[in-house]
Structure 1
Amino acid sequence: MPATTPHAHRVTHRYFLVMLAVGMSGGLLGPALPHLAAMTGSTMGQISVLFTARALGNMLGSLLSGRLVDRFPGHRVLAAMLVLMAAGLAAMPFSQGLAVLTAVVFLLGLAEVSANAGANTLLLWAHGRQAPPWISALHFCFGLGNTLVPLVLVAVLALTGHFAWAFWAVALYALLLLWPLAGLASPTAPAAREEEAPMPPADGWRLALFLFMFGLYVGMEITFAGWVTAYATLAGMPSEEAALLATLFWLALSAGRLLAIPLLRRFSPWWVLRGCLALGLASGLALQLGWLPLAVVSLLFGLAASAIFPTLFGLSNQLMTVNGRTTGRIFLAAGVGAMAVPSLAGPLLERAGTGAFPLLLMALLGLLAVALFALRARVRRTEA
């Protein structure tokens, strides 16, 4: 997978390290939640406000980061967000009151999504239309950070007996990334580079379809990961086994993003997306009809979901001019989907029973397939 230029190759490695830090920061809140509740004297119901605060910070950061990356050198923006993220992580163990902790988590969510969106945008600018495999590798690093950080917390608790050192360790890692970024020039937007092939004219429908698909996908991902344990428990699976299903999903999702790297070199993004959606629909049908064990369905659904977001992101760069503002809108749509779609699962499970869960997943996949078909038709019509 050759880099576009030697400079693109060097900056790409830095962005991988940044996304590892973002993934570790984002993945630390869940495992540390009981410790944060004890620290603030809050119930689990009260401490759940942290997730809302982070989501709201993510949504504001999505809008802010796009404007910053378009106006200032991208590496300066990434460095500023890494400093803010490290400050938030370092401050969390000192935030003894729930209100203060909520404010810190809001700022942390803003910094995380800004660094995430910034790294994605700069990687697109560095590789141009050859970006899809690199984007998949970038998102693998994010998933790897999510996977590793619970192990960091376990190790810290074993060595020190206090959860705070996990936050401080991730904060220190984020600060160590400032020096590698400072030594390299920031990639520039394609419009500023003469060698970049001309992009198609602006098309609001294309952007709308992309935003719709990003919101649907992220909502579906969070819905499966967040509700599969509850679904399995209601279906009669022992709670210990049900708790492993989300882990299997995330492991398959991370592995699938690695697998997508050679696939995106060999096949077009359109074919990769169709394959993912077909596998997802087959997994949902197997879940509905009880053809496969839940553990196998979790693995297959994670594999199906793995390449959708990075492939869509790379495809958007081939079909539109993607600047910081566009990336910000994409991450805003993802944040809205993450808040809205999972909220449907609870009422459906309560009112319609466990059979509603796979139907919801298949409905979301069906809508994604329809939107992808509409996007393909739109591209053919406008480029004819």
Structure 2
Amino acid sequence: MVTLTRTPGDSASGPRLAPAAVTAAVVAFVVIGVQQSLYGPAIPALRAAHDISAGAAGAALSVHFLGAVLGVLALPRSRRRGIADGTFLAAALALIASGCVGFLLAPGWPLALTAAFVAGVGFGGIDGGVNQVFTEIYTGDGGGHGMLNLLHGCFGVGAIAGPVAIGLLPGYGWAFVACAVGSVIVLPVLLGIRTGRVADPRRAGRRVLSLLGLALIGFFVLHVGLETGAGGWETTHLISTGLTASAAATATSGFWFAFTAVRFAVVPLCRRFPPRTIVIACTVMTPVAAVATLSHPLAPWAYGLLGVAVGPLFPTGLAWLGQLRPELIPTVVAVSMLGGVAFPPALGLAVESFGPGAVPWGLVGVALTTVATLALITGLASRPGPNR
């Protein structure tokens, strides 16, 4: 199957993925969105099936993310060895399918965790690999960052659908089976991807850890931390403001809905505004929304606004990164996960020490730090020189 097409404008904009390949990549992102969201809702069933504690059951998600980091970082090594991107992506889907099935069939919890790790490696391979391919192919095109927002919006759809599926299906295992089946279905299509990407020798010699590189990495870690911190602690904070547990949970769902919906909504804007403009506008909005969460009456709506502000940052930021330092994409995708690992527990410690009122103050602090980091990036990016 041919997965690259050329149009009369290719001399200026480069090759494009064929519609079948784009569809397969989008479906793969829905699959990994579902996959990531399954472990938490499955905890009660996992505890009963394996006779384990809640903490042990929660280790599945930690192991998943550990594997994901390795999967993301495997892409540069794969390319250095001359392995085609399609082969890499197909292998990642095979790991997801085998890991999901192994997780269900494992006779004991240690083997189940091993399977979760395998599936996590596949998750990271798809996350890093598809992001890399889409960034390289579409970033040079005006509005091409809309493709990244579309892609990540579909990831959000999967993340929303996963818990719903566990609630509707007769057992949690069916949702994992669906991930495996979806992976197998799109595997042959992604196997045929040939991007023809050749390393740019002018970029290859750049120091990854230049000041600009560090600032870019820091920016992604911060806004992912803001995203996961708000989503993880919003319910706790809103209950402390007087909302019922049900109303607070509904408001938290609203945050994730806004976070996902805005990625689709911003797609048409990407034809009019470059990624830098959208990133700056959304980042400046984050401290405004975070400060508004300090007001009890405004807090539920402010979290929704924060979801709108944060939603486009990762995909649009990747498009901007592809223009500034494309060699950093695998590193950024992997290291940005640290924001999700570190910031929610840090907020938890603050809540233990100062109460739920610490949540909005923590969000304000991270949002302001993100704005400051963005200011540093824009200043450094405007400087000439290969090691900026």
Q: TM-score, normalised by structure 2?
A: 0.89
Find out whether 1:255 has 2:264 as its counterpart: no
1:66, 1:118 within 8 Å by CA — same for their partners in 2?
Answer: no
Structure 1 residue 319: Cα displacement: 1.1
Q: Deviations over 1:112-154 (max 9, x none)?
A: 0111100011112222422311111111111111112223323
Structure 1 residue 175: Cα displacement: 0.3
Higher RCO structure (Cα 8 Å, ≥6 apart): 1
Q: Distance in 1 between matches of 2:374 and 2:343?
A: 19
Structure 1 counterpart of 2:206: 202
Structure 1 counterpart of 2:357: 355
2:90, 2:188 within 8 Å by CA — same for their partners in 1?
Answer: no
- Find the partner of 1:311 among 288, 311, 316: 316
Q: Distance in 1 between matches of 2:184 and 2:221?
A: 31
- Find the partner of 2:343 among 333, 341, 349: 341
Q: Distance in 2 between matches of 1:7 and 1:301?
A: 33
Find out whether 1:276 has 2:282 as its counterpart: yes
Structure 1 residue 262: Cα displacement: 1.7
Letter in 1 for 2:174: W
Structure 2 counterpart of 1:288: 294
Q: How does 1:169-184 map to 2 (within 5 A)?
A: 169-182=178-191, 184=192
Aligned length: 370
Structure 1 residue 199: Cα displacement: 6.5
Unaligned runs of at least 5 residues, structure 2: 1-8
Deviates more, 1:123-132 or 1:83-92: 123-132
Q: Deviations over 1:51-82 (max 9, x none)?
A: 22122222222222332244310010010010
Letter in 1 for 2:23: H
SS of residue paired to 2:266: helix
Structure 1 residue 302: Cα displacement: 0.8
Q: Distance in 2 between matches of 1:200 and 1:318?
A: 14
Structure 1 counterpart of 2:4: none
Structure 1 residue 279: Cα displacement: 2.2
SS of residue paired to 1:341: helix
Unaligned runs of at least 5 residues, structure 1: none
Q: How does 1:316-335 map to 2 (within 5 A)?
A: 316-320=321-325, 322-323=326-327, 326-335=328-337
2:33, 2:155 within 8 Å by CA — same for their partners in 1?
Answer: yes
Q: Distance in 2 between matches of 1:6 and 1:273?
A: 26
Structure 2 counterpart of 1:26: 36
Structure 1 residue 45: Cα displacement: 2.5
Structure 1 counterpart of 2:145: 132
1:62, 1:328 within 8 Å by CA — same for their partners in 2?
Answer: yes
Letter in 2 for 1:179: P
Q: Distance in 1 between matches of 2:235 and 2:108?
A: 31
Find out whether 1:167 has 2:172 as its counterpart: no
Structure 1 residue 205: Cα displacement: 2.0
Q: TM-score, normalised by structure 1?
A: 0.89
Q: Distance in 1 between matches of 2:166 and 2:297?
A: 37
Structure 1 counterpart of 2:194: 186
- Quick check: which one's helix share is greater? 1
Q: Distance in 1 between matches of 2:203 and 2:330?
A: 20
Structure 1 residue 43: Cα displacement: 2.2
